[in-house]
């Protein structure tokens, strides 16, 4: 079933983020971010919980994306599933939940960035009706 994220999902989200996306962090950081983002209506976060085992096996996280020159939409910040739950239609269900919310908010689009090497993910998004509109480099400055 797809449901809202809860603080108790922190360990599962941390694990999925590391093993499916390659992002290492701590459970404490994840829990803190969940607590903060739950209060922010610009964020949409849903998890997939297995109805039988009650395992949190995936999530989608998007944020409102607003520009001076375009109507608002969503930017997908993360969509990931445990390997054993992939290719079962769950990712598509998570995307559909986001699309339903986007329409309810009168958003006009959903966008995302995906690493160049993630060709299987690219095929998934294309299968779900998303188009690659440009290739780009990401620049970041951290402190």
- Whether 87 maps to a domain, the answer reads yes
What mean pLDDT is predicted for residues 35-60?
98
Residue 31: what pLDDT?
A: 98
- Whether 134 maps to a domain, the answer reads no
Residue 115: what pLDDT?
A: 82
Which residue's entry shows tokens 């966008």? 111
pLDDT tens-place string over residues 83-141: 999 999 999 999 999 999 999 999 999 999 988 888 889 999 999 999 999 888 889 89
Evaluate if residue 48 carries a pLDDT over 90. yes
- pTM, entire model: 0.92
Task: Say how far apart CA 125 and CA 96 lie, in whole Å.
Answer: 12
Task: Say how far apart CA 40 and CA 37 lie, in whole Å.
Answer: 5
Structural domain range at position 49:
2-114
- Tally of structural domains, the chain: 1
């Amino acid at each position: 079933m797809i449901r809202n994220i809860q603080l108790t999902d922190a360990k599962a989200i941390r694990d999925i983020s590391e093993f499916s996306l390659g992002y290492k962090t701590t459970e404490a950081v994840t829990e803190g971010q969940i607590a903060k983002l739950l209060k922010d209506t610009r964020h949409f976060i849903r998890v997939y919980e297995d109805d039988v085992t009650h395992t949190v096996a995936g999530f989608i996280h998007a944020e409102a994306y607003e520009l001076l020159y375009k109507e608002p939409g969503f930017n997908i910040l993360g969509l990931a599933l445990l390997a054993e739950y992939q290719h079962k239609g769950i990712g598509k269900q998570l995307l559909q939940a986001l699309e339903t919310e986007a329409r309810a908010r009168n958003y006009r689009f959903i966008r995302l960035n995906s690493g160049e090497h993630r060709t299987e993910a690219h095929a998934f998004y294309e299968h779900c009706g998303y188009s690659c509109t440009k290739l780009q480099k990401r620049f970041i400055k951290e402190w």
